[in-house]
Amino acid sequence: MPGDPVIDIHEGSAAARAALVGLDGKPGVSKPDSILTVDNVVRRFGGMTAVSVDHLEVQRGVITALIGPNGAGKTTFFNLITGFDKPSSAPRLIGGPKAGEAAKWEFNGTPLGMTGAAKVAKQGMVRTFQLTKALARMTVMDNMLLGARDQPGENLFISLIKPLWAAREKEVHAKAEELLQRFKLYEKKDDLAASLSGGQKKLLEMARALMSDPTMIMLDEPMAGVNPALTQSLLGHIQALRDDGMTVLFVEHDMHMVRHISDWVVVMAEGRVVAEGPPGDVMEDQAVIDAYLGAHHNTDLGDDSLLTDEVAEELAKEISEEDANTEGEKK
Amino acid sequence: MNELMTTLNAILASALSPGTAALAIAAIGLNIHFGYTGLLNMGQAGFMLIGAYAFAISIIGGLPLILAVIIALAAAVLFALVLGVPTLKLRGDYLAIVTISAAEIIRMVGRSSLLTNITGGSNGLVGNSYRGPFTDLSFLGDGQSGFGPWNYDNTGSDGWWIRLVAWALVALFSVMVFLLMRSPWGRVLRGIREDEDAVRALGKNVYSYKMQALILGGVLGAVAGVVYILPASLQADSMGRSMTFFIWTALLLGGAATIFGPILGAIVFFALRLLVQGLAGQFVPASIMTSQQTEQFSWILIGVTLMLIVIFRPQGILGNKKELSFNAR
C-alpha cells in the first residue's frame, strides 16, 4: 500500500518475498508493499472485451510472472498500463464511466491514468515488446545509448556543442559496454541491429531497457527465441536485478522458466485475472490447469522415446478415466 | 564541338549558381525531415514560398534586412507548427498529404488576384523591389571579375556577392547538420525514423522531437526560398509542386541521411538536366525535337531518374548501402 511502506527496499528483496508468504491467493489480493496498483482497467475492441481487470497489485522488489493462454489479454494489458493504449474505461470529460468505476492505476505512488508512453517510461516503468523493436539501421551501440536517461545532448541547442555533453556521453558509453558484455553482445556493438538474430534482438531490447535504470521492468516474452544456455544465464541476470531492488513483471509461456524464477504468478484468461499466488500453488490450482496448463503439463510431449504405444495407451486410459470422473462429478 | 563547349560551360555555371545553392539548402532541410527523422514532407516548396514572401514583403514594407530575415524564419516556424500540431501524432503518410496540400494553398493564395497589391498576384514581385538592402551589404565593390567559365558582376543582381552568401550558407548548414547528427539529439531522431514506439518506450518525447525536426528543416526551406528569389524575382509558380519534387530528386540522388548528399545531389541534378538538354539539342535534329521539346524531354528524364534511383539505388550516390534511408521495409 502506498503511504504505508512495510518494507524498505534496501533490506533487499528477500524480505519482499518473505512478505508474500501466507498471502491468500485469490485474484486481486492486496500486497504488503505494492509498486503498481491497477483498478478497473477495461479495454474493448468492438464487442470483444480484451482486458477487464478489476484490481491487481504488484509487489515491489519481486519477480511477478503474468501467464495465460493466447488471447488472454496479457500484451494488451501491458500496452494499457505503459501508456501505449487507452482503456475503454478511461475517465472522459463527457459521458464515460461513473466515478469509482473509471480506470485508474498508480505506479510508485504516482497516478498514471492519462499519461503518455514516454512519461510512463520516465517514471521508471520501462517495457520491452513481444515483437522486438530493435532500431534496425542503427548500430547496437547506438541502440544502447538511446536508452540512457538524463542526456543533456538530447537537447537541440546543447547538442551543437560537444563539450557540453561529452562527459555524460562517456559515462553512458561505459555503462552500455558493461551491459553489452553481460548480455553477450559486446562483439556485435558496431554492427547494425538489423544484422542480429531474433534472439539477439530480444537481448538487445532488454539490455536497452536496462540502460535507463528502471524501477520496474516489464518484459513481454523475454525468452522466446533465446537459446537454452543463454536463457539460463539471463534468468540469473533477472534474479540479480531483483536482488538489486528492481521489480520485474514478465509475460512468458515457458513454464519451467516461470517456475524457476518467479516469486509470484498472476494468471489471466479471457481478459480477467483468474488466479494468483506463488508459482507452486498456482500450478496446482485446478482453474489454472483447466484454463491454461492442461492436464498433462508435466509430461514431456516432445520426447519421442516416451511416445511408445504403451505410453500412448496409458495416456488414453488416463484421459478416459478423467473424463469419466468429471462426468461423474457433474452428475 | 562548339555546342559541347557551350553545354559544358552551362553545366559549370549552374554548379555555382545561387539557384543550385538554394536547392541544396532546401534539400539539407528535407534531409533533416526525411533522411534523419523519417518525416515525409511533400511540401518543402511551401516552406520556401513562405520564407520568400515573408522576406520580400517585409523589405518592400520598409523593414530592415535583418528584421525581414527574422520574419521569414518566424513564418516558417509558424507554418511548421500549423502543419505539425495536428499531424505529427498520426502516421507518417498523413504529414505527406497535409504538407503537399498546404504548400499548394500557399502558392494559390500567393498568386491570387485579390492580393495583387501585396504579393503581386500571378506576376509576382520583381527582384529590384526587395533586392536593394541585400546588395547594399556587399563589400565586393563594383566591376566584374571571374575565372574560367565563371564571369560575373562583383555585386550586381546575379553576381559574386549572392553566390558567396548562398554557398556560405550551404557550408554553414552542412556543418550544423553534421554537429547535430553526431550528437545524442541526432541519435534520438534516427531512433524515431526506425521505430517511434521503441523510442517512446525509452522515455523520449517523440512528438516534441518530430516537431523540432520539422521546424528546423522548414526554417532551412525558408532560407532556401530567400536565396532562391534574391538573384531573380518572386513568382509563386516557380516554387510549386515541381520544385518540391526537384528537392526530393536532389536529396535521393545525392543520398539521404548523409551530410554532403543534398549538396552533391543539387549540383548533379542541374548538371544532368543541362547535359541531356545540350546533347539532345546538338544531336537530335530539330525536325524530330525542337529546342523547346528538348527541355521538356530533359525534365521527363529527371522524373525517370528519380524512379530509377528509388528502385535500384535507394541510398543515392553517397549513401551507405547498409543504412539505406529510403524506407523500404
CA distance B25 to chain A (A): 19
Half-sphere exposure of B138 (CA within 13 A, CB side): 23
pLDDT of B323 > 80? The answer is no
Nearest to A127 among B201, B323, B324 (CB): B201
Q: What does pTM read for this prediction?
A: 0.88
Residue A105 in contact with residue A111, Cβ under 8 Å? yes
Nearest to A138 among B176, B194, B205 (CB): B194
CA distance B324 to chain A (A): 8
Kindly identify which residue of chain B lies nearest to residue A166, measuring between CA atoms: B183
pLDDT of A232 > 90? The answer is no
Residue A28 in contact with residue A41, Cβ under 8 Å? no
Are A126 and B201 an interchain contact pair (Cβ–Cβ within 8 Å)?
yes
pLDDT tens digits, A43-81: 988 888 899 988 999 999 999 999 888 888 899 999 998
Using CA atoms, how far residue A249 sits from A171, A261, B266, in Å, is 28, 11, 52
CA distance A170 to chain B (A): 12
pLDDT tens digits, B155-198: 888 889 999 999 999 999 999 999 999 999 999 999 999 999 99
**In the structure grid, which three cell numbers stand for residue B269, read together?**
541534378
pLDDT of B327 > 80? The answer is no
| Domain total of chain B | 1
Q: Among residues B124, B138, B143, B117, which one has the least CA distance to residue B65?
A: B138
Across the range B22-44, mean pLDDT stands at 95
Res A324: pLDDT: 79
Res A297: pLDDT: 63
CA distance A197 to chain B (A): 16
Best B176, B183, B323 member to test A by mutation, with max A CBs in 10 Å, is B183
Res B155: pLDDT: 85
Nearest to B183 among A82, A165, A209 (CB): A165
Separation between Cα atoms, residue A46 and residue A182, nearest integer Å: 44
B326: confidence class by pLDDT, cuts 50, 70, 90? very low
Using CA atoms, how far residue B32 sits from A302, B42, B64, in Å, is 53, 13, 30
B251: confidence class by pLDDT, cuts 50, 70, 90? very high
Separation between Cα atoms, residue A31 and residue A37, nearest integer Å: 9
Are A122 and B197 an interchain contact pair (Cβ–Cβ within 8 Å)?
no
Are A155 and B185 an interchain contact pair (Cβ–Cβ within 8 Å)?
yes
Kindly identify which residue of chain A lies nearest to residue B326, measuring between CA atoms: A137
Res B318: pLDDT: 85
Q: Which residues of B touch A (CB under 8 A)?
A: 176, 179-180, 182-188, 190-191, 193-195, 197-206, 212, 216, 322-325
Res A155: pLDDT: 93
Res A94: pLDDT: 74
Res A16: pLDDT: 74
- Picking from A1-5, B101-105, B319-323, which range would have the lowest pLDDT averaged per residue? A1-5
Residue B199 domain-assigned (yes or no): yes
Res A302: pLDDT: 61
CA distance A200 to chain B (A): 16
Across the range A292-318, mean pLDDT stands at 68
Separation between Cα atoms, residue A28 and residue A268, nearest integer Å: 12
* CA B163, chain centre distance (Å): 15
Nearest to B203 among A142, A145, A212 (CB): A212
CA distance A132 to chain B (A): 9
Q: Which residues in chain A are contacts of B204 at CB distance < 8 A?
A: 118, 146, 154
Residue B142 domain-assigned (yes or no): no
* CA A231, chain centre distance (Å): 16
Are B201 and A121 an interchain contact pair (Cβ–Cβ within 8 Å)?
yes
| CATH code: domain of residue B258 | 1.10.3470
Across the range B233-257, mean pLDDT stands at 92
Res B49: pLDDT: 95
Are B184 and A116 an interchain contact pair (Cβ–Cβ within 8 Å)?
no
Kindly identify which residue of chain A lies nearest to residue B175, measuring between CA atoms: A160
CA distance A2 to chain B (A): 24
Residue B144 domain-assigned (yes or no): no
- State the first-to-last Cα distance of chain A, in angstroms, to the nearest integer: 45
Domain housing B85:
2-127+153-323
DSSP A85: S
pLDDT tens digits, A106-124: 888 888 877 788 888 988 9
Mean pLDDT for all residues in chain A: 83
Nearest to A165 among B184, B203, B325 (CB): B184
A1: confidence class by pLDDT, cuts 50, 70, 90? very low
Q: Which residues in chain A are contacts of B181 at CB distance < 8 A?
A: none
Across the range A25-34, mean pLDDT stands at 80
User: Which residues lie below 8 Å from residue A140, measured CB to CB, with a gap of 6+?
Assistant: A180, A185, A188, A189, A190, A191, A192, A193, A196, A204
Residue B137 domain-assigned (yes or no): no
- Picking from A6-20, A134-148, A267-281, B25-39, which range would have the lowest pLDDT averaged per residue? A6-20
Core vs surface per residue A21-54: b (16+ CB within 10 A) or e: eebeeebebebbbbbbbbbbbbbeeeeeebbbbe
Res A298: pLDDT: 62
Residue A126 in contact with residue A212, Cβ under 8 Å? yes
Residue B178 domain-assigned (yes or no): yes
Residue B148 domain-assigned (yes or no): no
Cβ burial of A12 (10 Å; 0-12, 13-18, 19+) is middle
Kindly identify which residue of chain A lies nearest to residue B178, measuring between CA atoms: A160
pLDDT of A286 > 90? The answer is no
- Provide the residue type at B325 as one letter: S
How many residue pairs from chains A and B have C-beta atoms closer than 8 A? 105
Are A159 and B185 an interchain contact pair (Cβ–Cβ within 8 Å)?
yes
pLDDT of A2 > 50? The answer is no
pLDDT of A301 > 70? The answer is no
Per the model's pLDDT, the better-predicted residue between A302 and B217 turns out to be B217
Res A8: pLDDT: 44
pLDDT tens digits, B55-78: 999 999 999 999 999 999 999 999
Residue B296 domain-assigned (yes or no): yes
Are A118 and B206 an interchain contact pair (Cβ–Cβ within 8 Å)?
yes
pLDDT tens digits, A121-172: 988 999 999 888 888 889 999 999 999 988 999 999 999 999 999 999 999 9
Separation between Cα atoms, residue B304 and residue B253, nearest integer Å: 12
pLDDT tens digits, A4-22: 444 444 445 677 777 777 7
Q: Which residues in chain A are contacts of B212 at CB distance < 8 A?
A: 156
* CA B82, chain centre distance (Å): 20
Q: Which residues in chain A are contacts of B193 at CB distance < 8 A?
A: 137
Res B328: pLDDT: 43
Across the range A187-216, mean pLDDT stands at 90
Residue B82 domain-assigned (yes or no): yes
Per the model's pLDDT, the better-predicted residue between A89 and B21 turns out to be B21
Please name the residue ranges forming H helices in A12-101: 13-20, 74-81
Nearest to A146 among B180, B191, B325 (CB): B191
